[in-house]
Chain A
């Protein structure tokens, strides 16, 4: 009975065979599976649609046309229209722009702040470590969405404030993860060798530690983008996310609540976009993680 280390790929038969004798130490590079390709295609399609489809189809997120209210799919309106005659596809694509911007923006912000702090805390230890881990404990003491909700309400509604509200609860998780990864790398022989010959800590961190934790951090960042999109959706759904003038998936879903029995497409379209995007991001992150245990989609 050969031991497997944790989660293998989702629906990927080749992965099981490829996991070697000591998968925890050395992970085999996986082939691109069907799910990975599907995930990549969805994201590529989304970006392409976001950039070009509105002009190609001559549709606009905000143009109302009372003549065709609540129509089903047609040649001009591929996914139908809402009760003001606004094109649902165009609105979902406009929402994609906001969601991806919020998702990648808030994750980039919290990673840029969190990863260096975590690396320093892990490598130097001592007081710096104690202080950061206390701050991390305090921020993580607040349930994520509750903190985001409170921040959004106290800061007021704007795209930047929503990003802050999402990034603040996310940042300490990056600190923790970067610290844990740094701790494990810092004990390896080449780092010790570097220390012995007197390399300054700054270049050890940049040249030896950072490249070795990048993969794990990237995988976590991808999951976090999905998570940020989810939180943005939740905030907008509660009416505390974007200002009402900005089209977002959560806002569209919230708006569609009144039409659930008469016209469920108003909810289904933005929900499907959100779901497929988060699913794709999670699948790609899982690929990055390879055989590592169930890290993806962590609770926060």
Chain B
């Protein structure tokens, strides 16, 4: 009870301080109006972030020391004509601003330039590689959630017990293990020692569903480890807090079984932290994905990025980073929208930022 009221008052004060200028108007307008306005503001902010992200991606080529065209071609291909034609193709002979708008126009129509290693259009490379990555990320998220939710529920229900402490220690260890180390352990155990699994390689869907999913299993497991640990910790902490609230005692006093109380009463109020971490984790997952894909030699976007980076294929790096980042921003925006669905109490208030900070 007291906790609820203090939370209310703090929320009010934040609102007061952050929206000092518009206080008078918000009082008069209805709640719906405020929601619409907030939604619009968020949309504008999203557009602004995306715009700046694309500007930065565009400018990244200018970070290269010296003449980008010469750097891209390297020592071997730097005949004056080749440099000149590449400068023309990259538009380096034009002023920066007009170059940017040409680039942005092309990017918006799906033309991200051409790779200088393979000569393939970058957007084509991305379209070919993205499905593998998407599938891998989805499978690993699924594995992580399927393992994390039950273990968090058990740990929270029996908090302080040997089971809880055992799970916590295990989770802590997993959290401190780099994904490629987990990958190596899996390869060593399943491919080298037991010999039941090929160390690397990828079977496309045309070789059969079992083969296909089989080739994704070990990579997905090594990707799932870190998010599993994070989700377990966040959900357990939130569940423990929920268990401390009065309605849980009431539920138990009414005679509801512990299992039913955990699932029906405790889960939903405790989902907020988990939802945020799912959104935030997608970013980490993309990073880990680069490593895991190159470790298991999967033909995904991450391996392609690593390949492009080590091959100094800057145009491809630029395009892939842009696409990955936009996808990540959109996922997070979507997660932001989900808050309202999961916890109507939050509504349009600005307190989601606080949740985010806690998780990040």
Residues of A within 8 A of B (CB): 1-8, 10-13, 16, 125, 134, 137-138, 140-150, 152-156, 173, 176-177, 180, 183, 187, 226, 230, 233-234, 237-240, 253, 260-261, 264, 267, 271, 274-275, 278-279, 282-283, 286, 293-300
Contact = CB atoms under 8 A, between A and B. Distances in A.
Contact of B192 (A12, A260, A299): A260
A150 B60 contact: yes
A253 B357 contact: no
Interface stretch (B101-109, B119-127, B229-237, B338-346): B229-237
B244 interface: yes
Given A237-B180, A297-B230, A146 B286 contact: yes
Nearest to B229: A297
A148, A187, A237, A240: residue with the most chain B Cβ atoms closer than 10 Å: A237
A149 B309 contact: yes
Contacts of A240: 306, 309-310
Interface stretch (B27-35, B214-222, B317-325): B317-325
Contact of A279 (B176, B236, B290): B176
**What DSSP secondary structure best describes chain A's contact surface?**
helix
Given A3-B241, A138-B53, A279 B173 contact: yes
A254 B56 CA distance: 31
B63 A154 contact: yes
B143 interface: no
B39 interface: no
Contact of A260 (B49, B187, B277): B187
A238 B286 CA distance: 14
A2 B53 CA distance: 48
Given A141-B325, A297-B230, 10 more contacts: A4-B240, A11-B169, A142-B328, A143-B328, A177-B357, A234-B291, A237-B291, A260-B188, A271-B181, A299-B284
Interface in B150-209: 159-160, 165, 168-169, 172-173, 175-178, 180-181, 184, 187-188, 192, 199
Nearest to A6: B237
A10 B168 contact: yes
Nearest to A133: B353
Interface string B300-330: 0000011001101010010001001100110
B169 A142 contact: no
Contact of B244 (A1, A147, A275, A283): A1
Nearest to A186: B17
Contacts of A152: 309
Given A6-B241, A11-B168, A234-B287, A154 B64 contact: yes
Given A7-B233, A299-B360, A134 B175 contact: no
A239 B290 CA distance: 12
B249 interface: yes
B178, B236, B286, B290: residue with the most chain A Cβ atoms closer than 10 Å: B178
Contacts of B354: 180
A21 to B, nearest CB: 11
A126 to B, nearest CB: 9
Nearest to B284: A299
B255 interface: no
Contact of A238 (B45, B177, B284, B306): B306
A299 B165 contact: no
27 contacts: A1-B243, A3-B240, A3-B241, A4-B240, A7-B240, A134-B45, A142-B328, A143-B282, A143-B325, A143-B328, A146-B325, A148-B287, A149-B305, A150-B309, A150-B317, A153-B310, A153-B317, A154-B64, A173-B360, A176-B360, A234-B287, A240-B306, A260-B188, A260-B192, A267-B184, A294-B233, A297-B229
B280 interface: yes
A238 B305 CA distance: 10
B91 interface: no
A147 B317 CA distance: 11
Interface string B247-273: 011000000000000000000000001
**What DSSP secondary structure best describes chain B's contact surface?**
helix
Contacts of A156: 65
B159 A4 contact: yes
Contacts of A6: 237, 240-241
B213 interface: no
A300 B159 CA distance: 27
A146 B324 contact: yes
Given A7-B168, A279-B173, A230 B56 contact: no
B281 A299 contact: yes
B283 interface: yes
A200 B180 CA distance: 50
A143 B287 contact: yes
B176 A299 contact: no
Contact of B306 (A138, A149, A275, A282): A149
A300 to B, nearest CB: 6
A300 B279 CA distance: 12
Contacts of A125: 17-18
A278 B168 CA distance: 16
Contacts of A187: 13
A217 B244 CA distance: 27
A7 B314 contact: no
A145 B357 contact: no
Contacts of B50: 141
Contacts of B53: 138, 141-142
A11 to B, nearest CB: 5
B192 A279 contact: no
Going nearest first, the 4 A-B pairs with the smallest beta carbon separation are: A3-B244, A145-B287, A294-B233, A6-B237
Contact of B188 (A5, A264, A282): A264
A11 B165 CA distance: 5
